[in-house]
């Protein structure tokens, strides 16, 4: 018997890799039902992430997906953005039209709370692809929703790869470490896609050409997005193409067997100036701290890209 699609809320700061994650989810309606998209300030300020999320829905031919603007700043810190990676618009690369679909009136955090209260307990998965401000705010305001969350699958953190925005911190966690701490201590079921795995999901020239060869507006836009942000990672890491961070979250929902990791304790540094936002992951299980997250370390990159390309071809 075919299973019902898994219901998710995508919480995001697009971002080219966020955009590709959204496209992957929208291309997979038999597996995933996107109940809504909530936006957060991160890669670029909130007005731009909210605009970009709608651009991506329209690119996918899905203007019916409701998009809600969430928090415009981290819980207690000033916003740090990443235009140096994603460009001024956050979605530099392709030339895409401004969205016509409206932004919803409801605040993103209220949508998260209301949806978790409305849907049967244990049936909604949260997929955060940016700083964890909206999710932490929702948990803080409405603790009753916590036990109703099916799972949180998020992109953030690093252990072996250590950091990308500072020598010791990954961007999403660094921007709002207090929010990350709330989420990691929430007791919810958590799966994390840290840099350790996303740095193995590299868009090589051949993989980029496979997107372009789809010959569709989506294929062209995705190729142009990765063309744009790979210049940054190529210069920085000398790697063979850019890491496709956020789509790993959606790929985990589609094909968890592509990934391997460990259920371990992960905590966030919120005090030190030097290591703020570091995820201290007990990969080697050298403490007696209780495990709280499935921390992914590896993936089958060939299969990941073949599933991604095959799904994008459907849009």
Residues with a catalytic annotation lie at 245
Applying CB under 5 A, does 48 fall inside the site for Ca ion? no
Selected from 68, 139, 159, 171, the binder of ligand BDR by CB under 6 A is: 171
User: Does residue 243 bind Ca ion (CB under 5 A)?
Assistant: no
Residue located via tokens 């905590």: 267
Q: Which is nearer to Ca ion, 130 or 261 (CB)?
A: 130
Instruction: Give the span between the Cα atoms of 210 and 287, in whole angstroms.
Output: 44
- Considering only residues 38 to 67 of the shown chain, the ones binding ligand BDR according to CB under 6 A are 43
Single out the residue of 50, 172, 191, 226 in contact with ligand BDR (rule: CB under 6 A): 172
Tell me: does residue 279 bind ligand BDR (CB under 6 A).
no
85 part of the interface to ligand BDR, by CB under 6 A: yes
Shortest Å distance, C-beta 3 to ligand BDR: 28
How far are the Cα atoms of 78, 160, 168, 278, 292 from residue 275, in angstroms, in the given order?
17, 15, 6, 6, 21
Q: Which of 8, 9, 10, 15 binds Ca ion (CB under 5 A)?
A: 15
Site for Ca ion in 119-138 (CB under 5 A): 129-130
Residues 149 and 176 sit within 8 Å (Cβ to Cβ): no
Residue closer to Ca ion, measured from CB, 8 or 264: 8
Q: Which is nearest to 135 in space by CA: 113, 161, 120, 160? A: 113
- The closest alpha carbon to 67, from 101, 103, 98, belongs to 103
Stretch of residues binding ligand BDR (CB under 6 A), selected from 110-118, 167-175, 202-210, 294-302: 167-175
Q: How many residues bind Ca ion (CB under 5 A)?
A: 6
CB of 21 to ligand BDR, least distance (A): 8
Window contacting Ca ion (CB under 5 A); options: 11-19, 101-109, 162-170, 268-276: 11-19
Both tokens assigned to 258: 């592509």
Q: Which of residues 116 and 127 has its CB atom nearest to ligand BDR in the complex?
A: 127
Strands 202-203 and 242-243: antiparallel
Total residues contacting ligand BDR by CB under 6 A comes to 15
Site for ligand BDR contains 126 (CB under 6 A) = no
Which residues in the 246-305 window bind Ca ion by CB under 5 A?
246
Select from 56-64, 168-176, 234-242, 289-297 the region that touches ligand BDR (CB under 6 A): 168-176
Residues that bind ligand BDR (CB under 6 A): 15, 17-18, 43, 82, 85, 129-130, 155, 164, 170-172, 245-246
């Amino acid at each position: 018997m075919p299973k019902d699609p898994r219901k998710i809320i995508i919480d995001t700061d697009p971002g080219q890799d966020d955009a590709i994650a959204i496209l992957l989810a929208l291309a997979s309606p038999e597996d995933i039902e996107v109940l809504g998209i909530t936006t957060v300030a991160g890669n670029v300020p909130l007005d731009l992430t909210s605009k970009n999320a709608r651009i991506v829905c329209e690119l996918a031919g899905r203007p019916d997906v409701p998009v809600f603007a969430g928090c415009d700043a981290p819980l207690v810190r000033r916003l740090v953005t990443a235009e140096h990676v994603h460009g001024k618009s956050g979605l530099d690369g392709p030339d895409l039209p401004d969205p016509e679909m409206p932004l919803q009136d409801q605040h993103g955090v209220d949508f998260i709370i209301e949806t978790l209260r409305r849907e049967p307990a244990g049936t909604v998965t949260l997929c955060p692809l940016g700083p964890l401000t909206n999710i932490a705010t929702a948990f803080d305001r409405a603790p009753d929703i916590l036990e109703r969350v099916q799972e949180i699958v998020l992109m953030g953190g690093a252990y072996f790869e250590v950091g990308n925005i500072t020598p010791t911190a990954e961007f999403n966690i660094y921007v709002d470490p207090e929010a990350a701490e709330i989420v990691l201590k929430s007791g919810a079921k958590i799966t994390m896609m840290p840099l350790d795995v996303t740095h193995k999901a590299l868009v090589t020239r051949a993989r980029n050409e496979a997107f372009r060869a789809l010959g569709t507006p989506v294929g062209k836009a995705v190729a142009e997005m990765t063309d744009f942000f790979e210049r940054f990672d190529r210069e920085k890491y000398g790697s063979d193409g850019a890491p496709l961070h956020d789509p790993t979250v959606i790929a985990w929902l589609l094909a968890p067997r592509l990934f391997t990791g460990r259920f371990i304790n992960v905590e966030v540094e919120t005090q030190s100036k030097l290591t703020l936002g570091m995820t201290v992951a007990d990969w080697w299980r050298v403490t007696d701290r209780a495990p709280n997250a499935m921390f992914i370390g590896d993936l089958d990159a060939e299969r990941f890209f073949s599933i991604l390309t095959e799904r994008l071809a459907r849009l």
